[in-house]
Chains A and B, each alone.
Chain A
Amino acid sequence: MEGDLEALEIELLLEAVARRYGYDFRSYAPASLRRRVRAVLRHERFRTVSRLQEAILHDPAMLPRFVAQLSVGVTGMFRDAGFYQCIRDEVIPRLRTYPFVRVWVAGCSSGEEVYSLAILFQEEGLLPRTRFYATDLSEMVLERARKGVYPVTSMREHTEAYIAAGGREDFSQYYVADHRNAKLKSSLRQSIVFSQHNLVSDEVFNEFQLVLCRNVMIYFERELRERVHDLIYRSLAPLGMLGLGMRETIDFTPHAADYAPVDERVRLYRRRR
């Protein structure tokens, strides 16, 4: 059957990439992964998955592009107004009690999410006491995130999302724009450390009062999701908080009983101890 041949080729490709380069996509959800592999084929103009595999194995320059295209999804600033409102109303007041705050954004993509947090923290006066660690698998998106430069055309949408999330300042104070691009203010960028971290294979690297891992585990199979939940649990300080994507839940994960909801509707949880 035609479909099965493709499944076989994808299996071989993932095996090859894992063994040759250490990037392991074998526990990613097959349904979405398959669509992405097809998108890579179209984009890079390969007729079959086997040809793509040959190119990746023999041309190391192909690898970062492949990793970026295979992993990256859509992101945005202040995506999900209710979530950011809850960060402002529930999370930040709790964080105020700490002399110093560490936040981990796992799977930060091109940075919009962590910059949104930094803006909220600045408005609430918490930025000088906070260090953000934003990590992703893909070096290519991290490069964009570090620059903090976005198309000026996206700023209208970001401004609307900021206002929907309860922002009351003039959003344009947070960036400098020319006719093409908007660059976020350096005071925001300086509070963030961007670095590569693979949730499949890397370990705990610090202890945090707040972890966001939103819309990342939706791409993972159960075992990998459980590994990541365990990693996050061990990275959280006692009473530390965890934010998931709007349609992800802590229920049925091995650590479900270790968390209490901060606000179940926006999937914000808190470590019980």
Chain B
Amino acid sequence: MTPGLIVVGASLGGAEAFAGFMAGLGEPRVPVALVLHRNRQPRGSLADYLARLSGVPVAEVDDSQPLTPGVHLAPADYHLLAGERAFRLSVDEKVIHARPSIDVLFESAAESHRKQLAAVLLTAASRDGAAGVVRVAGLGGRAYVQDPSTAESSVAPAAALAALGEAGRSARVGSPRRIGEWLRAEGCGTERREEP
């Protein structure tokens, strides 16, 4: 069964890792929701930067926007949550010093999509994402973790793998590009249309 939603989390160095992931995935055929920890940047600029880097359009999410194929970026200073049919935002407290938080996205998506979810945790410099990945796996979704040896910061990938181990769950481990290719093979992406 092809996952109906992909959630991706990353921080430090995450933009390049995300571009690698998208290179493997190709043209997304399902919604791809992305939390990237960031310092205060001018709004909008990060989406443009990611789009240039990865070669696919990237848009910041508005509240209640429907889940549609393509890349949806969590806006600065909001948590991004995934419901069954739409994205929702919140300005609740930070979680592990982060807003947007990877755990918040992963846990909400796990609860709304269960087995239909693929979660991808890339390079990140805090524990954010570890609990989320465990929740995803616990509800039957697929978990993918960047190989810590390929990550600019291995804190999150290593924490996630340890937490999964403790919970008796597992994830597939690979480079961002490999993970993208696995998901493409599952039907989540297609060959990029060549520029004319």
Contact = CB atoms under 8 A, between A and B. Distances in A.
Contact of B92 (A35, A222, A225): A35
A218 B90 contact: yes
B152 interface: no
A247 B60 contact: yes
Contacts of B61: 247
Contact of A74 (B64, B92, B139): B92
A34 B78 contact: no
A246 interface: yes
Contacts of B104: 35
Contact of B88 (A31, A74, A246): A31
A1 to B, nearest CB: 8
B82 A248 contact: no
Interface string B73-117: 001001101110000111111000001000010011001100000
Interface string A230-262: 000000000000000111110010000000000
A109 B107 CA distance: 27
Interface residues of B, number: 25
Contacts of A23: none
A247 B78 contact: yes
B64 A222 contact: yes
A73 interface: yes
Contact of B43 (A30, A73, A246): A246
B191 interface: no
A122 to B, nearest CB: 27
Contacts of B62: 247-249
Interface string B47-84: 00000000000001111100000000001001101110
B106 to A, nearest CB: 12
Given A35-B92, A218-B89, A247 B111 contact: no
Interface in B112-154: 112, 139
B83 A31 contact: yes
Contacts of B90: 32, 35, 73, 218-219
Nearest to B79: A32
Contacts of A248: 62-63
Interface in A61-101: 73-75, 82
A36 B104 CA distance: 12
Nearest to A214: B91
B43 A31 contact: no
23 contacts: A3-B111, A29-B81, A29-B83, A30-B83, A31-B83, A31-B108, A32-B92, A34-B111, A35-B92, A35-B104, A35-B108, A39-B93, A73-B91, A215-B91, A218-B88, A219-B90, A225-B64, A245-B63, A246-B75, A247-B60, A247-B78, A249-B62, A249-B63
Interface of A: 3, 29-32, 34-36, 39, 73-75, 82, 215, 217-219, 222, 225, 245-249, 252
Complex A-B, nearest 10 residue pairs according to Cβ-Cβ distance, in ascending order: A31-B81, A32-B90, A31-B108, A73-B91, A218-B63, A218-B89, A74-B91, A29-B88, A247-B75, A247-B62
Given A35-B104, A219-B90, A247-B78, 16 more contacts: A29-B83, A31-B82, A31-B108, A35-B107, A36-B92, A73-B90, A82-B43, A215-B91, A218-B63, A218-B90, A222-B64, A225-B64, A247-B61, A247-B75, A248-B63, A249-B63
